[in-house]
Each structure stands twice: as C-alpha cells, then as structure tokens.
Amino acid sequence: MRAVVTVIGKDTVGILANISSACAKHQNNILEVTQSVMQDLFVMIMLIDISKSNIPFTEFSDEMSALGTEMGLSISAMHEDIFNSMHRI
C-alpha cells in the first residue's frame, strides 16, 4: 500500500527533515520525493510505502495535518488510489 504526502506552503528550514522523521518513526518508507516552486509556493510531493506502518493510516494522516498546522504549511497524506482512480483509466 502506498500513499502520497503533499506539502504546500512557504519554504522554511526543516520541512523535509520533519516529515521524513515522522515517516521513519512510523516505519513508512519514502519511495520518491519531488519538490518545486509553483506560483511562489513551495510544493513537495512524497510517495511513501505504508504497508509496514506501525499505526493505522488514518492516525498518520491526522499526525501529518497536525504537523502542517504546527509548521504553518498545508500537509495532506492521502492513499495513492485516489490519484490513480481519478487520473488513470
């Protein structure tokens, strides 16, 4: 099972570090990372493997949103199927 973590907001120090350590804490393996600046916004998209996660994905998703609030960013963790189903036939 894989999920997509999306981070949108103002670029600051430690975004990648904070998110990677949260992933590592819960045994979520980072498979791919892309980052860019779109319309003055920092956008990072991370594909993670959640099959060995030590917490339910709903809790991880909550933790990511909370981390986002704390860092002043919009962070969402969503199951990859939502993107596959919408954009692939």
Partner 1 sequence: MINTKDIMETITMIQDEHLDVRTITMGISLLDCCDSDIDKVCERVYEKITRYARNLVKTGEDIEKEYGIPIINKRISVTPIAMIVASCNEKNPVRIAITLEKAALACGVNFIGGYSALVQKGFSPGDRELIESIPEAMSVTDHVCSSVNIGSTKAGINMDAVKLMGHTVRRTAELTADRDCIGCAKLVVFCNAPEDNPFMAGAFHGAGEPDCVINVGVSGPGVVRAALAKAGDCDLTSVADIIKKTAFKITRMGQLVALETSKRLNVPFGIVDLSLAPTPAIGDSVAHILEEIGLECCGAHGTTAALALLNDAVKKGGVMASSHVGGLSGAFIPVTEDAGMINAARTGCLRIEKLEAMTAVCSVGLDMINVPGNTPAEVISAIIADEAAIGMVNSKTTAVRLIPAIGKNVGDELSFGGLLGGGPVMQLNTWSPARFISRGGRIPAPMQSLKN
Rounded CA gap, 19 and 32, in Å? Answer: 13
Pairing of strands 74-79, 41-49: unpaired
Rounded CA gap, 24 and 22, in Å? Answer: 5
62 belongs to the binding site for partner 1 (CB under 8 A) = yes
Q: CB under 8 A: which stretch of 9-17, 19-27, 41-49 binds partner 1?
A: 41-49
Question: What string marks each residue from 10 to 29 as x (binds partner 1 by CB under 8 A) or -?
Answer: --------------------
Q: CB under 8 A: which stretch of 10-18, 21-29, 71-79 binds partner 1?
A: 71-79
61 belongs to the binding site for partner 1 (CB under 8 A) = yes
| Nearest Cα residue to 7 out of 74, 62, 89 | 74
One of 16, 30, 43, 71 touching partner 1 (CB under 8 A): 43
